[in-house]
Structure 1
Amino acid sequence: MHTELHSRGALFDDEPPGLASRLVGLRPYQLGATPYEHPAEPPFVVFAGGRGQGKTTVLRALRDAYRGHTPIALIDGEERQFTAPPPERPAESWSPVGQALTTAAEQLAEPVKGAGRIGFPRLSAGLLAVAAAGWTEREVPRIRREAERILLLNETDSWLSGFAGRWMGKVISRLVASMSGTGPVVEPIIEATLEVFTEGVSPAHRRLRGAATWYRDYPGAGDSPKMALVLLSRHFRAGGDFRRHAERHLVRALLADLEDAYAGVVQRSHRRGRPVLLIDNVQEPAGLGLLEPVLRDRADGIRDQAVFFAALRGYAHPALRNAGRLALPEAARETGWRPGTSPSSRALLLSLPPLTPDGTPRVDEGRPR
């Protein structure tokens, strides 16, 4: 099976289960369950190699194999959308990591067989605070467009139907009513967001309140969700290490929202396997901005159950200096991977077998042939 992927059976085989089955918990292209090889913490898998070795084809094949069966997203760090902000977006309120998180969440939110859409209230609250740092009272049309994209990350099939539109209207109305000059609008936006989060008594609103209070532990916030989001926005705008600190919390927010989607007996019974994030060209800023926070948090004991497969151009990177290393065929039955204490040890670097002259993958509309 999958012979068109040129000796990639160690990843895709059904019997014995290949690496993808053992990490995701589902066999490719089907809902057949597979026991986890690493039930407590999966390795962050990175396919290494030079150009033309089929790394992109492998990631696309993984997306096709699990799309519709478990939440999955594919981003490419070299895409234009991750290399520079759109013309109307100030650079201080945009980053490759923020764009990657938004794009990944939009894909992960899509419904799968037996389960509806996933909402990302923690992530959207943080992204809204970051975006607000680049807004002024003269830009209401742009504010509306950017806010709508972020707020739609909260929408699910049932309990949030129509909620994003109502929420956006309240946020914009509160913003316009609060502005009295050309100063920053971060605090009015955050106040409006928290106000909507705390309205209502339904289970949906309880989840939204939980999303707001989740930020209370942000360093320096003093247990205040509002101060936490204000600080997050300031740190992001400051750039450098401050921005990386804020981005780490945004990555953590996405993974916490994913964890919520699997919390409880009922939700786990509807969602089989683990969610999957695929990152092509992980050596680019958008990729490293996801890889490094995940590895650091896992090393610090902040666990998540997401499965990451990434493609690295080359065979080494400073962020992966202590990663486990195997040739892909060696992972056919078991990886033997055990993490150490350093962040980079939470990764597993797999070198792909070289392609033969007649074994170059052909891709048609994103599907390997």
Structure 2
Amino acid sequence: MHTELHSRGSLFDADPPGLASRLVGLRPHQLGATPYEHPAEPPFVVFAGGRGQGKTAVLLALRDAYRGHTPIALIDGEERQFTVPPAERPAQSWSPVGQALTTAAEQLAEPVKGAGRIAFPRLSSGLLAVAAAGWGDRDVPRVRLEAERILLLNETDSWLSGFAGRWVSKVISRLVASMSGTGPVVEPTIEAALEAFTEGVSPAHRRLRKAATWYRDYPNADGSPKLALILLSRHFRAGGDARRHAERHLVRALLADLDDAYAGAVQRSHRRGRPVLLIDNVQEPAGLGLLEPVLRDRADGIQDQAVFFAALRGYAHPALRNAGRLALPEAARETGWRPGISPSSRALLVSLPPLSPTTPRAYDEGRPP
């Protein structure tokens, strides 16, 4: 048990429930339900501390405690895949945040006990528009690989089945055909994708049609899904504040897809607790690119039910200036957290107590002993 390993009973206790149980709604390592401490909006929990405080080990223990019971994903902002684009991927169509969203969705999609895969049609539609900005070189093998990875995020129980492979191949063939000639590819690619979504009759096509319409409220889109996705791609390609604006919508898309997986009495009866996203080294671009949009949206009244646990190197960050603050032992029974008006007040900064002298250093650094 990680409780003894880290002396972190305030986080992992099952009875009475510790912080993780009260936020996720499930006891660690089991399907026993726990009442939510914050039913309307959970705080974005950030574990703070210097090197050697066991932050990575705590995130790994959380993943072990809930994997297979509720959707869960773990990313590390310092991993190379979140710091530099692949050699063949143009920088204009890649960012640490986009990579983090893709990787997190692939993990969150995995089936859990009593429930099947989660589909991410909104995120898929947005990521496809962003990726199209990098297809101007007509590198067809790369286009097929990138498009397949994105489109398969929309799959549920037919993941990698023959049917899934056939419909994905048909959509990709339509996209490749739209790239003939020498002009820009973003608009014809998005148009071809929307046409392919419209013509199909499978559940996957229906999800993508619904997802495309979700983008109608994108600023200056005038209710047009096609224009919305073109603008999203254009803003992402522009970089700077425009890219951050597009990334905020992609983060929102992932959370909206997660909410859909829990919508309705049937889904809720199969899915217990809340989905969990774990972010190590949240101070890096991939981490901040998830943290800041979530805090801003929650402050703006755009709700989601995902539980975030992150690890921060250090004890403070400008993005967390108004966060609530607790030492982990103080959160053993309740946090007393109440959000304010500012986005950063939606976070709860939790400092970790020193590890026991007997705790193995390998666990502290997140490695097997």
Q: One fold, TM greater than 0.5? A: yes
SS in 1 for 2:36: coil
**Are the aligned partners of 2:278 and 2:310 in contact in 1 as well (CA < 8 Å)?**
yes
Q: Distance in 1 between matches of 2:361 and 2:68?
A: 23
**Are the aligned partners of 2:118 and 2:156 in contact in 1 as well (CA < 8 Å)?**
yes
**Are the aligned partners of 2:75 and 2:279 in contact in 1 as well (CA < 8 Å)?**
yes
Q: Distance in 1 between matches of 2:126 and 2:345?
A: 29
- Asked if 1:93 is matched to 2:93, the reply is yes
**Are the aligned partners of 1:10 and 1:332 in contact in 2 as well (CA < 8 Å)?**
yes
**Are the aligned partners of 2:110 and 2:116 in contact in 1 as well (CA < 8 Å)?**
yes
Aligned-pair CA distance for 1:137: 5.3
Unaligned runs of 5+ in 2: none
Instruction: Tell me: CA distance 1:162–1:339, structure 2 relative to 1, closer, same or farther (3 Å).
Output: farther
SS in 1 for 2:310: strand
Taking structure 2 as the reference length, the TM-score comes to: 0.95
Q: Distance in 1 between matches of 2:332 and 2:231?
A: 46
**Are the aligned partners of 2:97 and 2:289 in contact in 1 as well (CA < 8 Å)?**
yes
Instruction: Tell me: CA distance 1:367–1:113, structure 2 relative to 1, closer, same or farther (3 Å).
Output: farther
Aligned-pair CA distance for 1:176: 3.5
Aligned-pair CA distance for 1:286: 0.1
Unaligned runs of 5+ in 1: none
Aligned-pair CA distance for 1:365: 11
Aligned-pair CA distance for 1:205: 3.9
Partner of 1:186 in structure 2? 186
Partner of 2:361 in structure 1? 362
Aligned-pair CA distance for 1:194: 1.1
Instruction: Tell me: CA distance 1:138–1:204, structure 2 relative to 1, closer, same or farther (3 Å).
Output: closer
SS in 2 for 1:368: coil
Partner of 2:208 in structure 1? 208
Task: Give me the identity figure in percent.
Answer: 90
Q: Distance in 1 between matches of 2:205 and 2:176?
A: 24
Q: Which range is displaced more, 158-167 or 190-199?
A: 158-167
Aligned-pair CA distance for 1:368: 6.9
**Are the aligned partners of 1:9 and 1:332 in contact in 2 as well (CA < 8 Å)?**
yes
Partner of 2:250 in structure 1? 250
Q: Which range is displaced more, 133-142 or 247-256?
A: 133-142
**Are the aligned partners of 2:174 and 2:196 in contact in 1 as well (CA < 8 Å)?**
no
Aligned-pair CA distance for 1:210: 1.2
Aligned-pair CA distance for 1:213: 0.2
**Are the aligned partners of 1:57 and 1:368 in contact in 2 as well (CA < 8 Å)?**
no
Q: Distance in 2 between matches of 1:251 and 1:326?
A: 27
Q: Which range is displaced more, 30-39 or 2-11?
A: 2-11
Aligned-pair CA distance for 1:201: 4.8
Q: Which range is displaced more, 157-166 or 136-145?
A: 157-166
Instruction: Tell me: CA distance 1:350–1:225, structure 2 relative to 1, closer, same or farther (3 Å).
Output: same
Instruction: Tell me: CA distance 1:126–1:72, structure 2 relative to 1, closer, same or farther (3 Å).
Output: same
**Are the aligned partners of 2:52 and 2:365 in contact in 1 as well (CA < 8 Å)?**
no
- Asked if 1:279 is matched to 2:279, the reply is yes
Instruction: Tell me: CA distance 1:191–1:164, structure 2 relative to 1, closer, same or farther (3 Å).
Output: farther
* Deviation readout 1:186-230 (Å, 9 max, x if unpaired): 112211221222234565543322111000000011100000000
Q: Distance in 2 between matches of 1:3 and 1:251?
A: 32
Instruction: Tell me: CA distance 1:162–1:215, structure 2 relative to 1, closer, same or farther (3 Å).
Output: farther
Q: Which range is displaced more, 163-172 or 223-232?
A: 163-172
* Deviation readout 1:45-81 (Å, 9 max, x if unpaired): 0000000100000000000000000000000000000
Q: Distance in 1 between matches of 2:204 and 2:219?
A: 27
**Are the aligned partners of 1:326 and 1:349 in contact in 2 as well (CA < 8 Å)?**
yes
Instruction: Tell me: CA distance 1:45–1:365, structure 2 relative to 1, closer, same or farther (3 Å).
Output: closer
* Deviation readout 1:254-306 (Å, 9 max, x if unpaired): 00000000011000000000000000000000000000000000000000000
Aligned-pair CA distance for 1:238: 0.1
How many aligned positions are there?
Answer: 367
Partner of 1:145 in structure 2? 145
- Asked if 1:122 is matched to 2:122, the reply is yes
Aligned-pair CA distance for 1:354: 1.1
Instruction: Tell me: CA distance 1:163–1:320, structure 2 relative to 1, closer, same or farther (3 Å).
Output: farther
Q: Distance in 2 between matches of 1:199 and 1:340?
A: 47
Q: Distance in 1 between matches of 2:131 and 2:360?
A: 40
Q: Distance in 2 between matches of 1:225 and 1:176?
A: 21
Instruction: Tell me: CA distance 1:193–1:163, structure 2 relative to 1, closer, same or farther (3 Å).
Output: farther
Partner of 1:177 in structure 2? 177
* Deviation readout 1:142-166 (Å, 9 max, x if unpaired): 0001111111101111499545433
Instruction: Tell me: CA distance 1:54–1:122, structure 2 relative to 1, closer, same or farther (3 Å).
Output: same
**Are the aligned partners of 2:178 and 2:192 in contact in 1 as well (CA < 8 Å)?**
no
Q: Distance in 2 between matches of 1:205 and 1:90?
A: 28
**Are the aligned partners of 1:47 and 1:55 in contact in 2 as well (CA < 8 Å)?**
yes
Instruction: Tell me: CA distance 1:199–1:161, structure 2 relative to 1, closer, same or farther (3 Å).
Output: farther
Instruction: Tell me: CA distance 1:203–1:181, structure 2 relative to 1, closer, same or farther (3 Å).
Output: closer
**Are the aligned partners of 1:120 and 1:154 in contact in 2 as well (CA < 8 Å)?**
yes
**Are the aligned partners of 2:46 and 2:310 in contact in 1 as well (CA < 8 Å)?**
yes
Instruction: Tell me: CA distance 1:47–1:215, structure 2 relative to 1, closer, same or farther (3 Å).
Output: same
**Are the aligned partners of 2:7 and 2:356 in contact in 1 as well (CA < 8 Å)?**
no
Q: Distance in 2 between matches of 1:164 and 1:190?
A: 20
Q: Which range is displaced more, 190-199 or 157-166?
A: 157-166
**Are the aligned partners of 2:96 and 2:285 in contact in 1 as well (CA < 8 Å)?**
yes
